[in-house]
Structure 1
């Protein structure tokens, strides 16, 4: 199934789409270092033998017309800074707002489905009107904004169409805030996913259910002790339980506790324990595993404890290179994650090569969609499209 990937960045969503069986017709990204990263890892996107177009430039300059009617899905993560909790919160007023391009791509190609991802901040009350506008534009991409019409006037027109029932939606759109940790990613990364299917296909779909839970991690640590045994952490090296957490553990230890077959959240230690400590072994041979000095805490950025999923990796525009991207050891000392460690936290494969300086590479990783989360969502969408295609073929026969 053919796809177009917009705002590709380091390629996390694009790789998840490829693993789900989609074949990229075009990949669009403006940043030169990110494009070089994709070029150097092209084999990860060509598992089906496709030779996609890599467009290095502003997505607003990409010509979608040649792909009209020939693409089954469009995916991408429009730049999140306009809506990020760590940004300037300018939303639709920010020139980096690329949702209009995402809507344009859907309107001009009319794919069977689309997947767009963005930051949790998009759901803030202050952006509620603009989020509704995004939602309705994606539902009715064939009702474009008129020349000279403001976005608020266009929103009012879309609301009138939607509530009157004078026109059926072109796409059925759903959205949900997903925590990557709930799907086996070693990172507590909350992101909004907007998924739409063309209404004429009659597809019934819902978001994949979580497979991992914090409760199961707590059980593994403090009820069975399996977590500490697996990592050979002695009793005197384990953290102290707070009174509040001890009460929660007592509840989880009860026989009636049932986590419905969930797996434990994956921690930073789970993700990187087999890598050498780059501070102690600076001459190791692991790709992109180089110690970077200078890590320090500052308000709002205190690093990620090794025995929890990491905090959300940041893109680096937060006062020091790498922002929140620090490991906190059990003794309280800290250091920056190496590029390889951050890549594992974002579930990129170990042979994935990142292009650019450490700060630029960490920016790419901080902006990326975790590959594993992208794959989970993309596979669910692919299954729905395959079932629809199979059903249609059966009816024709």
Structure 2
């Protein structure tokens, strides 16, 4: 048994869970909404406690039951981790942020004050790193600071940790200062293999004579693999731009095939072969996918040293969706190892400059009176024209209530309440989940 414990929310099919386990964390609880992903977790780790349902429902997950005062010896959980829903921040979506009923990021941060874990790890899409969400990010850092934690954001590239895919993820790490001073972001492990190098053994497994030539064409890492949602149908490798990138690698991105080429039925298109779900898994960092429903077609016993072997429950589309929506296990392992070293106070303390995500938000938060654009810019210590401050206020207004007052010198602003779901009993999220639970992914 590991000496480090973790509670994982929005665990999905286990990409982050497997990586954290390999880094030395033992799951006390994993919570997941999708029943097929829950089946995958239970298939791989039957000894884990896995809760199925909406993580924000006390019937599914009661954070107080895992708070230090409820645990033997009063020892806190070492790590609260999760990959909360991405659509509120996705560049491909409407970027509704706090106004999106699926947003759980702010709620997850609030649980830190209840669970009091030694560390927090939350990951999401690159969209959360953009200026649109500067105020949201600062609110998160400020709340963590109120709870006694120091937090830091970092955009992580999966290809830096051996994953042959263009998959940026925006990561938040937070700890109490006595631990956080020992935290160092993981160093890149080297250049990732190309799609061709990664998938050649699988492409050639059924004797396709064109496999070597195909691998030479597939000489780059993959575009970001997207799992899609229950709402939008079957397995597909992404939007139009992604399909063009796949075509340049010699991959037909219009669907996923059951087997490697040559094909018995439909001929290969001019784009090239389609990927199988096992190939997609390899591009996510799982070195071997083992699906009991197709055990006769693929290896059932992983070669020695293949630490990322994983079974998947469900049919082809469900398996593809689980893989495509996952956090790559090698990236989770790298982050987990860095967190574990910090919690053990290994290495030298890190010198870091904690900068503010949004100085304008900070000014509004620190002053409870109305401020004009000129006053805000001056107090924030930045040079901005009035219209630029007005534009920033419009962005903030998407996640916060912004009160306005007319003055002779122009509009004055005051910060109102945060719009996001943080656990409110009367929030619109509850009604949305009751009506749409089977379609949410």
TM-score normalized with structure 2 length: 0.59
CA separation of 1:185 and 1:66: change in aligned 2, threshold 3 A: same
SS at match of 1:97: coil
Match of 2:276 in 1: 338
Distance between the aligned counterparts of 2:180 and 2:224, measured in 1? 36
Tell me which of 199, 202, 207 is aligned to 1:275. 202
Distance between the aligned counterparts of 2:317 and 2:144, measured in 1? 35
Tell me which of 126, 130, 134 is aligned to 1:124. 130
How far is the alpha carbon of 1:378 from its aligned partner? 0.6
**Structure-to-structure mapping, 1:192-271, within 5 angstroms:** 192-201=170-179, 203-212=181-190, 264-271=191-198
Tell me which of 51, 58, 76 is aligned to 1:55. 51
CA contact (8 A) 1:322 1:359 kept: no
Distance between the aligned counterparts of 2:152 and 2:104, measured in 1? 19
How far is the alpha carbon of 1:347 from its aligned partner? 1.1
Unaligned runs of 5+ in 2: 69-75, 209-216, 252-269, 291-309, 350-441
Match of 1:65 in 2: 64
TM-score normalized with structure 1 length: 0.65
How far is the alpha carbon of 1:137 from its aligned partner? 2.2
Q: Report how many residues are paired.
A: 281
CA contact (8 A) 2:227 2:325 kept: yes
CA contact (8 A) 1:21 1:382 kept: yes
Tell me which of 292, 301, 316 is aligned to 1:358. 316
Q: For each residue in 1:194-253, what CA deviation from the matched residue of structure 2 results, as whole angstroms up to 9, or x when unmatched?
A: 0111124463322112232xxxxxxxxxxxxxxxxxxxxxxxxxxxxxxxxxxxxxxxxx
CA contact (8 A) 1:111 1:198 kept: no
Distance between the aligned counterparts of 1:266 and 1:89, measured in 2? 33
CA contact (8 A) 1:203 1:388 kept: no
CA contact (8 A) 1:201 1:388 kept: no
Distance between the aligned counterparts of 2:143 and 2:51, measured in 1? 25
CA separation of 1:343 and 1:5: change in aligned 2, threshold 3 A: same
SS at match of 2:152: strand
Q: For each residue in 1:120-162, what CA deviation from the matched residue of structure 2 results, as whole angstroms up to 9, or x when unmatched?
A: 000122222112222322332x4xxxxxxxxxxxxxxxxxxxx
CA RMSD, 1 decimal: 2.5
CA separation of 1:95 and 1:382: change in aligned 2, threshold 3 A: same
Distance between the aligned counterparts of 1:73 and 1:335, measured in 2? 42
CA contact (8 A) 2:157 2:169 kept: yes
Unaligned runs of 5+ in 1: 44-50, 143-169, 213-263, 282-304, 392-397
How far is the alpha carbon of 1:367 from its aligned partner? 1.4
Distance between the aligned counterparts of 1:316 and 1:201, measured in 2? 37
Structure 1 position 347 matched with structure 2 position 346: no
Runs of 4+ in 1 over 4 A off after TM superposition: 277-281, 317-320, 329-332
How far is the alpha carbon of 1:277 from its aligned partner? 5.0
How far is the alpha carbon of 1:7 from its aligned partner? 0.6
Distance between the aligned counterparts of 1:53 and 1:102, measured in 2? 19
SS at match of 2:31: strand
Distance between the aligned counterparts of 2:105 and 2:141, measured in 1? 10
Distance between the aligned counterparts of 1:314 and 1:204, measured in 2? 34
Match of 1:321 in 2: 235
Distance between the aligned counterparts of 1:279 and 1:95, measured in 2? 46
